[in-house]
Structure 1
Amino acid sequence: MVESLATAPASKVSLLRRFLGWCVHAFTASGIAIAAVILYLLVQGGPDAFRWSFLLMILATLVDAVDGTFARAVRIKEAVPSFDGRRLDDITDWLTYTCLPLMLIWRAGLIPEHTVPWLIAPLLASAYGFCQVDIKTHDGYFLGFPSLWNVVALYIYALPVPPWPALYLLLLLAFLTFVPVKHLYPSMPGKLNRFATITGAVWGVLVVALVFLLPTSAEPERSTAERVMAYGSMIYPAFYMVTSWYITLKGWAQQPAPSTP
């Protein structure tokens, strides 16, 4: 994600750095263009709408994963001090990590039809998470479930998860947005975060392969190859969640007990 850095006087910024700064912002904004195509696919429908929507969500995630590196390289707040790239980044993430995945869950019929209004719960929970000032901790973690609804939608579709358990999972994760569990933040420093970055890259390749195996509907029976790929690729999300909870519980256990008067 785009990081804020100390600003410098605009007069001291070269035209090249200013140009490169705007190029970084344009790269971040490409996520909004990707979101527009996903929206078109989900509204228009068609035999490959869900498959292409998932592929474009992966592309948007890739943009989000590297734009911060580019921003730090050009010292973005110095290069373009008048433009808030972090706000642009949050708008893009809100669309590609939350709104569109939840819309896909609705359009693909992944939860019972009459329970669709319950999708407001993860939507509002994600809005709360995005607006939390301390959502990113000083030691390099996300607090609460980090609105990875694109990943949730993919596995509900790919396995597939039956409609009622899928709804319960969505509501549980929405609730966990409010629980101050430290979730790994792969782009931040730290051994676990670096390990999560490396293994996450391998997982990303598996996910792309999985998406190409997906049927055009959530209803047909899954092939053996697809089931093996889906369950095998779940090792990384399981590692992510288990490690995050382990770190949190360990931290809670090490907190000193309150003194009694």
Structure 2
Amino acid sequence: MIALFFAADGHFAAMFAWLGVALVIDAVDGALARRFRVVETAPFIDGVALDLVVDFLNYVVTPLVALWRSGVMEPAVAVAVCAGVCACSALYFADRRMKTADYWFRGFPALWNVVVFYLLVLRPPALVTLAVVVAAAALMFAPIVFVHPLRVKRLRAVTIVVTMIWGASAIMAVAQDLATAVFGVKAALVATGCYFLALPFFREGGAIAEGEVDG
């Protein structure tokens, strides 16, 4: 909610700082829940449903508010695009085929916090921004995979190192107020982003085969 308030006020570096805190929490909450046997101690709470609610706020709603408030698209276009992306993301979150049996994401995993972060750091022209957002929304329903940086075994050691480099670069970009970040930081973000986009080609079968997804 703090990140959402900062997004609404146009303080995007502060918003991403708080989303970073939420990302760290998201990385450890499952392990903590298992450690303290939450399924046994609070069986009336559905942890999966709770996780989806929190993720939808952090990964979809808050960054879309930032996209709307940032001025990277015309206001009327931004409203329509954000509404469409929110609806598509809701369908993606409700899809039981979201992950494959080997823990890849089926389609683009609605990480709009990452997409909007890149758009606010790189500040491409409005038409390019629109094309990126529309393409990412379409890719949520495409028969391709995207890596989970911690759970996918393929090239896991390399991926973790690249993820750490990405995280350090992202922190520096936030500290340098996003679009004003130095060239080296932006170059590191682009390079690591290209690694994640290319990684599915190193999986055995980059596309999703029929019946492959984990029910």
Show structure 1 runs of 5+ residues with no match: 1-35, 256-261
User: How many residues are paired up?
Assistant: 209
1:145 pairs with 2:101: no
| Counterpart secondary structure, 2:23 | helix
| Separation (CA, whole Å) in 2 of partners of 1:44 and 1:108 | 10
Matched, 1:235 2:197: no
Letter of the 2:55 counterpart: D
Share of identical aligned residues, percent? 27
Verify the 8 A CA contact 1:159 1:230 in the aligned structure 2: yes
- Deviation of 1:227 (Å): 2.6
Amino acid at match of 1:124: A
Q: Which residue of 1 aligns with 2:2?
A: 37
| TM-score, normalised via structure 2 length | 0.88
CA spacing shift, 1:59–1:186, aligned 2, 3 Å:
same
- Between 1:72-81 and 1:93-102, the stretch displaced more is 72-81
What is the DSSP-based 3-state SS (H/G/I as helix, E as strand, rest coil) of the residue aligned with 1:234? Answer: helix
Residue 191 of structure 1 and its aligned partner are, at CA, apart by 3.6
CA distance in 1, matches of 2:189, 2:9: 30
Q: 1:45-124 counterparts in 2 under 5 A?
A: 45=10, 49-116=11-78, 117-124=80-87
> Stretches of 4+ moved more than 3 A in 1?
248-252
TM-score with structure 1 setting the length: 0.73
Structure 2 residues not aligned, in runs of 5+? 211-215
Asked whether the 8 Å contact 2:143–2:207 carries over to 1, the reply is no
RMSD: 2.2
SS at match of 2:105: strand
Distance in 2 separating the partners of 1:169 and 1:112: 15
Distance 1:74 1:187, change over 3 A: farther
The one-letter amino acid paired with 1:58 is G
Aligned letter for 1:160?
A: R
* Alignment check: 8 A CA contact 1:214 1:226 kept: no
CA distance in 2, matches of 1:244, 1:98: 23
